[in-house]
C-alpha cells in the first residue's frame, strides 16, 4: 500500500535483456534517494507497484545506485511502462511504513488504465485535464481522490468524459506532473473505496437482487 505522496523523482536507465519468457528487466536510477530499498520491497514507480530484485551481480541485494525490477507483459500493456525510454523521469514512493503519515489516500499501485492528457492550463492556476476510459468514469467523484502517475490528487472538476485536477507549486516541483503536455498518457488508479462501491452495486444490479438478501 502507498499514499500517493511522492518521495523522490528517479530516472529510467535501461531495459535489460529478458530474465525469462515472461518478464523484462527495468533499471531505475534513484538519483540520490535517501531511502535504500531492499530485495523484495514494493516500490511505486509512477503509479505502478513493482518488486525490487537483485541486479546482475552475485550479490543478493540490489546495487544502491540502481534499482532493478522485473516487469511482466500484462503490466507493459496496461500501463505507460511499455513506452518508457531511458532518461524518462518517474515518481518514486516506498510502501507505507508504520511511521508513514497518511497525507494522501490509499493507493495500491494497481493501475486501472492509462488516460490521455487533453488540456494543460498554467495561467491563473495549474490545471490538468485527462480522459480516462469510459468504464472508469463511474469511479470518479467530485472532490474525490485520484492517483495520476503515482501522485495523490483531488478531483477538482469532471464531466462525462474527463477529469480535471489542480496542481499546487509543491506538487509541480516535487513530481513529474509539471512536465505533462497535451497528448501525454498517465497511469490512473481510481480510489479503491469508490471502486469497491461501484463494483458491488453493478454486480447487485446485474443479478437483480435489489431488496433481496445476497
Residue 152: which domain range? 113-200
Residues 90 and 117 in one domain: no
Eight-class DSSP state of 113: E
Residue 108 in any domain: the answer is no
Q: Helix or strand or coil: residue 60?
A: coil
- Same domain? 70 vs 24: yes
Residue 212's pLDDT is 52
Q: Which of 62, 94, 126 is the last residue of a domain?
A: 94
Residues 60 and 122 in one domain: no
Let me know whether 117 and 193 are in one domain.
Answer: yes
Report yes or no on 207 lying in a domain.
Answer: no
Residue 85 lies in a domain: yes
124 lies in the same domain as 71: no
User: What is the signed CA dihedral for 162, 170, 177, 192, rounded to 10 degrees?
Assistant: -50
Residue 147 counted as domain residue: yes
Residue 91 CB contacts under 8 Å (≥ 6 apart), including other chains: 6, 8, 9, 10, 44, 45, 46, 47, 149, 150, 151, 175, 176
Nearest to 137, CA basis, from 162, 120, 154, 118: 162
Q: Are residues 182 and 130 in the same domain?
A: yes
- Is the domain of 120 the same as that of 195? yes
Query: In this structure, are 90 and 48 located in the same domain?
Result: yes
Model pLDDT, residue 125: 85
State the 10-residue block means of pLDDT for the chain, 214 residues long: 97 86 90 94 98 74 77 95 97 92 93 98 90 95 97 97 96 96 98 94 84 53
Residue 27: partners with Cβ closer than 8 Å, 6 or more residues away = 12, 13, 14, 15, 16, 66, 67, 68
Note the pLDDT of residue 57: 63
Is residue 209 a part of any domain in this protein?
no
Could you tell me if 56 and 120 lie in one domain? no
| Domain termination residue (choose one: 94, 126, 144) | 94
- Residues 181 and 128 grouped into a single domain: yes
Domain-embedded: residue 137:
yes
> What string of H, E and C letters represents the secondary structure of 155-199?
EEEECCCCEEEEECHHHHHHCCHHHCCCCCEEEEEECHHHHHHHH
User: Is residue 188 a part of any domain in this protein?
Assistant: yes
In a domain, 3, yes or no: no
pLDDT at 210: 62
Domain count along the chain: 2
Judge whether 48 and 185 are in contact, CB under 8 Å: no
- In this structure, are 122 and 80 located in the same domain? no
* Residue 58 pLDDT: 47
All three cell numbers of 180, joined, read 505533462
Q: Residue 25 maps to which CATH number?
A: 2.40.30.20
Amino acid at each position: 500500500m502507498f499514499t500517493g505522496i511522492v518521495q523522490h523523482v528517479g530516472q529510467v536507465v535501461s531495459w535489460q535483456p529478458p530474465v525469462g519468457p515472461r518478464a523484462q528487466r527495468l533499471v531505475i536510477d534513484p538519483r540520490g534517494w535517501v531511502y535504500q530499498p531492499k530485495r523484495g520491497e514494493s516500490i511505486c514507480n509512477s503509479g505502478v507497484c513493482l518488486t525490487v530484485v537483485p541486479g546482475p551481480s552475485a550479490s543478493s541485494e540490489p546495487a544502491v545506485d540502481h534499482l532493478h525490477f522485473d516487469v511482466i507483459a500484462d503490466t507493459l500493456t496496461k500501463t505507460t511502462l511499455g513506452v518508457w525510454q531511458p532518461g524518462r523521469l518517474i515518481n518514486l514512493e516506498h510502501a507505507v511504513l508504520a511511521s508513514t503519515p497518511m497525507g494522501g489516500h490509499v493507493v495500491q499501485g494497481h493501475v486501472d488504465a492509462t488516460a490521455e492528457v487533453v488540456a494543460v492550463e498554467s495561467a491563473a492556476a495549474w490545471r490538468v485535464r485527462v480522459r480516462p476510459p469510459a468504464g472508469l468514469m463511474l469511479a470518479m467523484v467530485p472532490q474525490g481522490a485520484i492517483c495520476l502517475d503515482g501522485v495523490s490528487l483531488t478531483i477538482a472538476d469532471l464531466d462525462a468524459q474527463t477529469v480535471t485536477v489542480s496542481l499546487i507549486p509543491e506538487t509541480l516541483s516535487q513530481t513529474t506532473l509539471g512536465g505533462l503536455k497535451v497528448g501525454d498518457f498517465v497511469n490512473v488508479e481510481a480510489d479503491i473505496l469508490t471502486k469497491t462501491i461501484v463494483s458491488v452495486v453493478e454486480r447487485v444490479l446485474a443479478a437483480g437482487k435489489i431488496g433481496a438478501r445476497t
